[in-house]
Amino acid sequence: MKLAIIGTGYVGLVTGTCLADSGNDVTCVDIDQAKIERLEQGDIPIYEPGLSELVVRNAAAGRLKFTTNTADAVRNARLVFIAVGTPMHEGGSATDAEKKGSADLKFVWKAAENFAPHLQPNAIVVTKSTVPPGTNAKLFALLQKLTGRTVDVASNPEFLKEGAAINDFQYRGRVVIGGRTKDAEEVISELYEPFLRTDKPLLVMTPESAELTKYVANALLSTKISFINEMANLCEKIGGDINDVRRGIGHDRRIGFAFLFPGVGYGGSCFPKDVRALAHLARHVGLDPLLLDSVDEVNSRQKHVLAHKIQEHFNGHLAGKHFALWGLAFKPKTDDVREAPALTLIDYLLERGSKIAVHDPEAMENVKAQYGDRIVYANSPLDALEGADALAINTEWGEFRNPDFVEMKQRMRSPVIFDGRNLYDAEHIRDHGFTYYSIGRTPVKPTDAPKP
Ligand code: NAD
């Protein structure tokens, strides 16, 4: 099948590549010329495990093309996927103030204006971007106005997660289609057939329900994270251990373990904006989204959890102190730093005159683009520790899990760790001579060790 993907970011590139890999003829479009030029040379602008090989292989086979020319991409496409960003509305101007927090659809409307004149008569437009309920209907009306005819519009929200996006796309748990016509349902079902061989469900519903499903999924996952973080903070106050509590509840099959790891709060391009957009939508229809507002507020506070521990440990004397930061990406196996908790900590420390050396296996370039030479970019986790007064861990990359504590201690000026991901066993690390703060557990100091 001939497909056009409008927007070649994390979702568009993965979608286009996986659909090319299942034998379709895919053209990915983007307005970012530099991005398209890199892709044409087989240089992948984002880090996503397994993506590079798949792009190169399918491009070489002629099934995957990249262009900035929307007309060329769309002209013969049976399906046109919209995968542009839908960021949070900033509500910048006075007339826009009430839109703050909602999903800003300006890229969706602009994309539609660009491709509408080039749609072939039986093309189906499919929104893969996360868009609020009602967008499908607005897009249907807009395309009718722009083309002077009826254009079929379906919703097909995407549930992949960065860091495991290829696997999530190819071995997906379900496909959700919000269709208006039998034709759209059948064509999109046919497209996904290779990915649903293991009897995974294809769920057909109204466009409004499909659009809402994506927000509800992200809001529920965010709720679990904020919930366990609030419980972790409670554990610290009463001397409990959140890891024990987590295990104590997780074995209950009604609860389970997924998304119940305490930490420094959720980040990324989806959860923060989607929770706020859903709350905005609820308010817009006259509801009071108490739970969603709290999930967001708990998360905003949790992103400061390490900063507050650091502040307290150093009695507020942070000017001139050296901090090593391990992990910048909002989660492991991605280079995405959008809304990453590490950035909250960097801002906090810089504002107080601290010096910062950071290491992340993949996200350094993206952070450098924002902070330039205001911080030091270390080549390895150990290099970041040179002369540090403390280490703060923000992302649970695999390579941070079993470090050489002896060498770490030698490199640091003072052996203090603020672990935002509970990577280590507290007693073990105390026995190596570290003072260790984690999330939802009692801090330990070398002097706490039992006397021999
Ligand atoms: P992104 O910012 O990485 O990519 C969006 C791309 O669209 C950019 O490359 C941009 O240049 C391009 N673009 C903007 N306007 C365009 C136009 N008119 N024509 C062509 N290209 C255009 O965004 P993303 O992370 O891929 O997210 C895209 C959508 O998918 C969002 O709605 C997001 O909420 C949703 N989503 C994201 C994820 C994720 O993990 N990133 C998962 C599921 C759903």
Return the CATH number at 314: 3.40.50.720
- CA atoms of 12 and 84, how far apart (whole Å): 7
Same-domain pairing of 316 and 253: no
Q: How does DSSP classify residue 88?
A: B
Q: CA 4, CA 20: separation in Å to the nearest integer? A: 11
CB of 85 closer than 6 angstroms to any ligand 1 atom = yes
| Residue finishing a domain among 238, 267, 302 | 302
Instruction: Clarify whether residues 310 and 413 are in a common domain.
Output: yes
Please tell me the distance between residue 12's alpha carbon and the centre of ligand 1 in angstroms: 6
Say if 240 falls within a structural domain. yes
How many C-beta atoms lie closer than 10 Å to residue 61's C-beta? 11
Domain membership of residue 196 (yes or no) is: yes
Phi-psi label, residue 69: left if phi above 0, alpha if psi -120 to 50, beta otherwise: beta
Token code pair at residue 75: 């002209």
> What pLDDT does residue 448 have?
78
160 Cβ inside 6 Å of ligand 1: yes
Six token digits for residue 275: 């929770």
263 and 133 belong to one structural domain: no
Are the C-beta atoms of residues 96 and 89 closer than 8 Å to each other?
A: yes
Decide if 8 contacts 66 (C-beta within 8 A).
yes
Q: Whose CA is nearest to atom 44 of ligand 1?
A: 158
Same domain, residue pair 185 and 96: yes
375 CA distance to ligand 1 middle (Å): 29
Residues 74 and 220 in one domain: no
Residue that the structure tokens 């950035």 belong to: 343
Total structural domains in the chain?
3
Residue with CA at minimum distance from ligand 1 atom 41: 10
- Quote the ligand 1 centre to 165 CA distance (angstroms): 14
> Residue 219 belongs to a domain with what CATH number?
1.10.1040.10
Q: Which residue bears the tokens 């397994």?
A: 50
Shared-domain flag, residues 9 and 37: yes
**d(CA 288, ligand 1 centre) in Å:** 29
* Residues 388/322, Cβ–Cβ less than 8 Å: yes
Q: Please tell me the predicted confidence (pLDDT) of residue 93.
A: 84
Listed residues 260, 278, 302: the one ending a domain: 302
Domain boundary among 247, 268, 302: 302
Residue 411 domain flag: yes
Kindly give the distance from the C-alpha atom of residue 46 to the centroid of ligand 1, in angstroms, as a whole number.
12
Q: 281 and 412 share a domain? A: no
31 close to ligand 1 (CB < 6 Angstrom): yes
Pocket test for ligand 1, best of 5, 30, 115 (most atoms within 8 A of CB): 30
**Does some domain include residue 221?**
yes
State the pLDDT at residue 452.
Answer: 67
- Residue 450 in domain: no
pLDDT along the chain (452 residues), means of 10: 98 98 98 98 95 97 98 97 97 87 97 98 98 98 98 98 96 95 97 92 97 98 98 97 97 97 97 98 97 98 98 98 98 96 98 98 98 98 98 98 97 98 96 97 88 68
**Would residue 235 show up in a list of annotated catalytic residues for this protein?**
no
38 and 138, same domain (yes or no)? yes
Which residue among 18, 28, 235, 270 is the active-site one? 270
**Per-residue tokens: 93:** 């101007």
3-state secondary structure of 5: strand
Q: Are 112 and 142 in contact (CB under 8 A)?
A: yes
Separation of 137 CA from ligand 1 center, angstroms?
20
**Nearest residue to 285 (alpha-carbon basis) of 339, 236, 212:** 212
Q: Ligand 1 atom 17: the closest Cα is on which residue?
A: 111
Q: Are residues 430 and 357 in the same domain?
A: yes
Ligand 1 within 6 A of CB of 162: yes
Q: Which atom of ligand 1 is nearest to the CA of 84?
A: 7
Q: Do 230 and 175 fall into the same domain?
A: no
Could you tell me if residue 234 is inside a domain? yes
DSSP output for 312-336: HHTTT--TT-EEEEE--SSSTT---
Residue 210 lies in a domain: no
Query: Is residue 12 within 6 Å of ligand 1 at its C-beta?
Result: yes
Domain membership of residue 392 (yes or no) is yes
- 181 token code pair: 């016509």
Residue nearest to atom 27 of ligand 1 (CA): 85
Cα–Cα distance for residue pair 264/345, rounded to 1 Å: 10
Using a 6 Å cutoff on CB, does residue 84 contact ligand 1?
A: yes
Residue 97: enclosing H or E segment and its boundaries? none
Q: Which helix (H) or strand (E) holds 202?
A: strand 202-205
Closest ligand 1 atom to 129 CA: 32
Q: For residue 194, how far is its CA from the centre of ligand 1 (angstroms)?
A: 24
**What's the domain range around 23?**
2-204
Co-location of 200 and 62 in the same domain: yes
Do the Cβ atoms of 139 and 127 come closer than 8 Å?
yes
- Considering only CA atoms, which residue is closest to atom 13 of ligand 1? 7
Same domain as 367, residue 286: no
